Amino acid sequence: MESNQNSLLRNNFCRNCKEFLDRITSAMPLFMKFVLFITIILYLINLFIPFISLIFANIPYYTIYYFNLWRLITTSFITTNILSIIFSIYFWYQEAVKLEREIGTVKYMLIFLMNTFCIQLMYTLIMFLFSLIIRTQTFLQLKITNSGVRNEGLWPILLCDLTLLCLSNPEELQKFYFFPFSLKAKYYPIFLFVFFTVISGFRIDLEVLCGIGFGFLFHYYLKNKLLLSNNFATKLENSFLFRWMKKKKGFIYIGGVRIPELKNNLENIRNVSINERIGIVQSRLKVFKGKGLAVGGEEENKVNENTNEANEVNISSTQEINSGDNSLNLNSSDPKP
C-alpha cells in the first residue's frame, strides 16, 4: 500500500516537473533552447567523463599547435561550474530571447557563432603573443588546472552583447544594480568587469575582457564589414542547411515575425484597402434623377453612351484598386511554417 502511494507521489512529482519545464521551454525561441540544452547536457556529461571539457574548451595550445579550430565555437557551451551556468544563463537569457525574437532564429544563431569565433580568436592570438614574449608554451595551457578545465562558457558572449547594447545609446545613464549611483552606458561594461575582478580576488578573466573588447571593436570599426544583412540571412534560412529548422517549435523567421502571420496581416490590410477604395468609387457614382435632352434623338445612341460611360467607370475603378493592390508585396518568400 505504501509502495503504491509512494509511486503515485513520484509520478505526480515527475508530471508536475514535466509540465513546468514544458511551460518554460514553450516560450523560448528555438536557438535559445538549443544553447540551454547543449550547455546543461555537456556539463552533466563532464561530471562523469571529465575529458569532455578538454576536447571542446578553447585551450590555445591545442587550438594553435594541433589546429583544433572547432574549439573556437564549442567553448561557449562548456562550463564546469554550476553556479557559472546559472548566473550566466540568467543574465544572458533576457537579452538573448529579446534579440532572437526581433531578428529571427537563423540570423541570431549566425551572429552568436560569429561573435563567439571572433572573441575566441582574439583571445587565442593574445595568449599566443604572451607565450612568445615569455618564451614558454605552458602559458597557453593555463586553463588546465588540477580540478579540470577552467572555462568561462557564455560569459564572453554575454559581455559582448551587453557592450553592444550599451554602445547603442552610449550617453544614457545606467544604474549599477542596487548601488546608489549611475554611470554612462559606454563605461558600464568596463566598470562591471573591474567590479567582478575585484570581488573574485583580482582574478582577471582574459576571455571576458576579450568579449568586451570585441564589442567595442565591432561597434566602432567592424560594424559595416561584418554586419549580416537580412537578404543574406533569408537565403541561408531557405537553404537546405536550415530548412529543417522551420518545422521546429519556437522557430522565428527573419525579421522576428513568422512569414505566414505577416502575410495574413498584409492580406487583411489589402482587403480593407480594397473595400475602402470600392466604397470611395461607388460614392462618386451618383444616379441622375433629373430631366435632360437626348442629343441626336435616337434611343439606341443614348443606350450606347450610357454603356460606354459605365465601362469607363469600371475600368478606372479597377485600375485604381489594382494600383493599390500592387503596392502590397512581400519582400520575402512564403515558406511553410
At 154-178, the pLDDT tens digits run 999 999 999 998 999 999 988 876 6
Q: What nine digits make up the cell of 20?
A: 513546468
Within a domain: 299: no
**Contact assessment for residue 47 and residue 82, using Cβ atoms and an 8 Å cutoff:** no
- The mean per-residue pLDDT over the stretch 122-132 comes to 94
Tell me, yes or no, whether 63 lies in a domain. Answer: yes
Q: Are residues 227 and 265 in the same domain?
A: no
Max CA pair span of the chain:
112
What's the rounded mean pLDDT across residues 36-54?
91
Amino acid at 64: I
Q: What pLDDT score was predicted for residue 309? A: 54
pLDDT band at 11 (very low <50, low <70, confident <90, very high): low
Banded pLDDT at 221 (limits 50, 70, 90): very high
Band of pLDDT at residue 61, cut at 50, 70 and 90: very high
Together in a domain, 123 and 27: yes
Residue 292 lies in a domain: no
Q: Within 13 Å of residue 131, how many CA atoms lie on the same side as its CB?
A: 17
Tell me the average pLDDT across 121-133. 94
Q: Which residues contact 86 (CB under 8 A, 6 or more apart)?
A: none
Contact 247, 30 (CB under 8 A): no
Residue 150's pLDDT band (boundaries 50, 70, 90)?
confident
Q: Is residue 237 part of a domain?
A: yes
Are 198 and 276 in a shared domain? no
Range(s) of the domain holding residue 265: 257-280+315-337
Same domain, 190 and 270: no
Q: Give CA–CA dist 12/30, Å, rounded.
A: 28
Instruction: For residue 256, name the pLDDT band (cuts at 50, 70, 90).
Output: low
pLDDT at 2: 58
H-helix or E-strand spanning residue 183: strand 182-184
pLDDT score of 26: 67
pLDDT surpasses 50 at 105: yes
Same domain? For 162 and 266 the reply is no
Residue 268 has pLDDT above 60, yes or no: no
Q: Are residues 102 and 199 in the same domain?
A: yes
| Interatomic CA distance for residues 304 and 63, integer angstroms | 87
Q: 107: Cβ–Cβ under 8 A, 6 or more apart, which residues?
A: 228, 230, 233, 237, 254
| Predicted local confidence at residue 41, as pLDDT | 94
Q: How many domains does the chain have?
A: 2
Amino acid at 164: L
Q: What is the pLDDT, as a whole number, of residue 202?
A: 85
| pLDDT reported for residue 266 | 38
DSSP readout, 262-329?
Answer: HHHHHHHHHHHHHHHHHHHHHHH-----S----TTS-HHHHHHHHHHHHHHHHHHHHHHHHHHHHT--
CA distance 194 to 293: 94
Are 95 and 227 within one domain?
yes
Assess whether 34 and 151 both reside in one domain: yes
State pLDDT tens for residues 224-240. 888 888 888 889 889 88
The secondary structure of 190-232, three-state, reads: HHHHHHHHHHCCCCCCHHHHHHHHHHHHHHHHHHHHHCCCHHH
For range 184-189, the mean pLDDT: 91
Is the separation of the CB atoms in 324 and 274 below 8 Å? yes
Mean pLDDT of the chain: 77
Which pLDDT score is estimated for 281? 44
**Res. 210: pLDDT tops 60:** yes
Q: What separation in angstroms does the CA of 206 have from each of 22, 24, 74, 243? A: 37, 33, 18, 37
Model confidence at 260: pLDDT above 50? no
**CATH number of the domain that residue 88 is part of:** 1.20.1540.10
Picking from 138, 152, 272, 267, the residue whose alpha carbon sits closest to that of residue 207 is 152
Cell numbers 521546429 correspond to: 248
